[in-house]
Structure 1
Amino acid sequence: MNASTPLLSVRDLQVHYGPALALSGVSLDVPEKSALAVLGANGAGKSTLARALSGLVPPTAGRVEFAGRDITAAAPDAVRRSGLVHLPEGRGVFPGLTVQENLRMALTPAGAERGGAIDRAFTIFPVLGERRRQRAGTLSGGEQQMLSLARALMITPRLVIADELSLGLAPRLVDVVFEGLERARAAGVAIIMIEQFAHRALEFADRCVVLQRGSVAWSGPASGAGEEVLRHYLGEAESA
C-alpha cells in the first residue's frame, strides 16, 4: 500500500434496509494511525455505517477499500481477519463463557501467540485478570465493555470501529474505555469512534464526519467542529 493511500477509503456508500435508504453517498478516508469521530443524531446512520464497513450489512452501491483491498462485499469474518475490527454497541461478549474463554474465542488457533495475546489483554485491563474465571454475563456493564475492547486490542488490529462503547457507563468507566482506545492508538491502531459524548470524541479524534439522515452533512478537522457545528447538526451542543 502506497504511503499516501488511506488505510480505509469509502466512496459513495449506499445502504438500504428494504425500501428505506439508510446511507446515501457517504465518502470518507481514514489514514493509518489516525482517529475519525463519526457524529450525528439518533437515526442518522452511524451504526449502519459501522455495520456496512465491517461486512454485517451489504451495501447496495459504493466501494470500501481497506489496506488497498476491495472489501465491499467481504463477509464479516474476512473483514476481521484483514485487521478491521468492529466493536458494536451492546458489548458483544459471550455471557455464558468465562472472561478467559471470551478472550480465547477472539484468537485464531495459531501457536504461542495465544498466551501472549491474553496476557496483553490482562495488562491493558488488570481487573479482567482478576475475573478471568468469572462468567462474562455476571460482570458489570463497564467490565463487559472492557472485555469487548480487550478482545479487539489483544489481536493488534489495524483499525477499530468503536460503536458507542461508553453508552450507559458511569463516568469513571467512560474514562477507562477512552484510556484503552488511547493505548490502542499509541500502538498504531487507527480508530473510528462513534460516540454519544461528542466533545470527548472530538478531543480524541483528528477529523470528524457528521451524518444527517444517512448523508455526510459536515466533515473537516475535529478542531473545527465547534459549538456552532454541533448545535446545527446535533441540536444539543451542551449535552453532546
Structure 2
Amino acid sequence: MNTSTPLLSVRDLQVRYGPALALSGVSFDVPAKGALAVLGANGAGKSTLARALSGLVPASTGRITFAGRDIASASPDAIRRSGLVHLPEGRGVFPGLTVHENLRMALIAAGAERADAIDRAFAIFPVLGDRRRQRAGTLSGGEQQMLSLARALMITPRLAIADELSLGLAPRLVDVVFESLERARAAGVAIIMIEQFAHRALEFADRCLVLQRGSVAWEGAASAAGDEVLRHYLGEAAGA
C-alpha cells in the first residue's frame, strides 16, 4: 500500500435511507493509481457506497476526502469536476444523441475542451468510431456500455468508480470492460471496482474490501482474498 497521502480517504462513513442504515462505519483508503475491489453479496451496500462517494446520496456522518478536499457534502457535479467519476451499471448515456454528441456532452460536463479526447475515445473503442453518427439509443447494450466507459475515460479522471460494469454483458464484452479499465489504470487513473466477477476483480485490484450488511467485514491485499474468504463472506457469489 502506498504510504503517502491517499488520493481518497473514507472514515466512519454512514449512510441512511430514512430509518434504514445502509452503510455503517466504513473506512478505507485508495492511493493514487491504486485499484480497490469492493465485493459483497446483494444488498451489502456496494452501490450505496459508490453513490455516496460520487455525491448521489448524502452521507449521514463520516468524512470523505478526495485529493486533500472534504467532498462529503459536495454536489455530484463538483465531485465529477474534481476528477472523481462514477460509472454506474445501466449505461448512463443520452439515447437521443449520437455517439459523437454523447462524447461532446461529456467534455462539456467535465469543463474540458481537449481536441484529442474524442479521438482517444475512438482509439480505445474503434466500433464507436464506426457508429459516431448513430443515435446512442439504437446501439446494442454492449456498445452503450462502451460509450459510457468512453465518456468517462477520455477525460482521464483521477479516480473512476466502476459500478457493476460487466452486469448482463456477454463474455467478450466483459473482457472489453476490463481491458478498458486496465488502459485507464496504465494512464494513471485510480479505480474502485464493484464487480460481480469476484476473481476477475481480485486479479485486477491491489486491495480488497468486503462489505456485509453495510459494514466492512474484511479488508486486505487482493492476493490474500482467496477462496476461503470469498466463500465465507460471499457464499454462492464466490463462484462468479
Gaps of 5+ in 1: none
Question: How many angstroms apart in 2 are the aligned matches of 1:47 and 1:113?
Answer: 31
Counterpart CA distance in 1 for 2:119 and 2:109 is 16
1:66 corresponds in structure 2 to: 66
Inter-partner Cα distance in structure 2 for 1:109 and 1:134: 21
Which residue of structure 1 aligns with residue 218 of structure 2? 218
Distance in 1 (CA, whole Å) between partners of 2:109 and 2:202 is 38
Q: Within 2, Cα distance between the matches of 1:8 and 1:110?
A: 20
The amino acid that maps onto 1:26 is: V
CA RMSD, Structure 1 to Structure 2 (Å): 1.6
In the aligned structure 1, how far is the partner of 2:135 from the partner of 2:229? 43
Aligned twin of 1:57: 57
Among all aligned residue pairs of Structure 1 and Structure 2, give the percentage whose two residues are the same amino acid.
87
Q: State the secondary structure of the residue aligned to 2:144.
A: helix
1:109 offset after TM fit, Å?
Answer: 7.8
Structure 2 unmatched runs, 5+: none
- Given that 1:104 and 1:114 are in contact with CA atoms closer than 8 Å, whether structure 2 keeps it comes out as no
The one-letter code of the counterpart of 2:17 is Y
Q: State the TM-score, normalized to the length of structure 2.
A: 0.96
Q: What amino acid sits opposite 2:55 in the alignment?
A: G
Cα shift at 1:107 = 0.9
Give the equivalent residue in structure 2 for 1:15.
Answer: 15
The alpha carbon displacement at 1:119 in A equals 0.6
Calculate the TM-score normalised by the size of structure 1: 0.96
SS at match of 1:157: coil
Distance 1:67 1:195, change over 3 A: same
Corresponding residue number in structure 2 for 1:193: 193
Q: Which residue of 2 aligns with 1:25?
A: 25
1:110 Cα deviation from its structure 2 partner: 9.3
Name the counterpart of 1:133: 133
Q: Per-residue CA shift, 1:169-199, capped at 9, x if unaligned?
A: 0000000000000000000000000000000
CA distance in 2, matches of 1:158, 1:108: 17
Match status 1:78 vs 2:67: no
Which letter maps to 2:28?
L
4+ aligned runs moved over 3 Å, structure 1 = 109-114
C-alpha contact (below 8 Å) 1:34/1:191 kept by paired residues? yes
Maintained 8 Å contact 1:85/1:152: yes
Distance 1:230 1:112 in 2: 41
